[in-house]
Each structure stands twice: as structure tokens, then as C-alpha cells.
Amino acid sequence: MSDPKALTDDEWRERLTPDQYHVLREAGTERAFTGQYDEHFEAGSYRCAGCGELLFESDAKYGSGCGWPAFTRPAQSDAVEERRDISHGMIRTEVLCNKCGGHLGHVFPDGPPDQGGIRYCINSLSLDFEEKE
């Protein structure tokens, strides 16, 4: 995919399931404790379900108990973009895939203190998992 940010809404709808489209393209959120990667702790890599970009590695994943997959850091510093989100009457920091602009979730300052204190709270629907060989 040369420039996924150039895809039209119709092209995104063809590539993604309706639930993935809602999360990635409309900044939706899956219900807590329902995502396939919430309690998933296999070794491997988590990629953007929209464009395949490497986002997180399993060694940064931990069980936060929040109901969504939680990571302490992205795979590479430029893998994700963060921006202020004032929707729903809250002030949060949204996390997006830097390559395609897809909504991934939010980042919070309540992660493990010994690992930087950051929690990337990410929707399972925005991720694909690639098992480590």
C-alpha cells in the first residue's frame, strides 16, 4: 500500500470489517473485555489492522485490567501519532497509526512505573497479531 492516507472511505470500507471501520476510521471503541487481544499474551508483533504497520511488540504488553490490550510503549517511536482528544466531555490523548491515520485508542499516564508509567490502551479491532517464529 503506497499511501494509505490517500484511500477513500469506500476503499477503507472494502478493506475493513464494519467493526474495524468504526474503530479505525470513525474513532470508535470496542466494548471493554470483548477484544480478542485483551488477555492475549503470545510472543509476537501487533500490526495495524488497516495498513499492516508494526505498532507494538508483545514484550511491551501487560495485563492492566482495563479491558483493552495495554502496552507500555510502541515498537518504534514514530509508529504512532498522539493528539489531544476532547470528545465525550473528556480531555485525553488519542493514539493513531502514523502510517494510515487509523484510530487505535488512547494513552494514559497510569502504566507500570518501572516501565515509564505509560499505558497505551488499544482496541483489539485496530490490531492484527503476527506470531513470533
* CA angle (104, 70, 31) in 5-degree steps: 65
Active site residue 121: yes
Catalytic residue among 48, 51, 97, 121: 121
* Closest to 54 measured CA to CA, from 31, 30, 79, 34: 79
Burial of 133 by CB count in 10 Å (0-12 exposed, 13-18 middle, 19+ buried)? exposed
How far apart CA 34 and CA 132 sit, in angstroms, is 24
Q: What residues are labeled active site?
A: 121
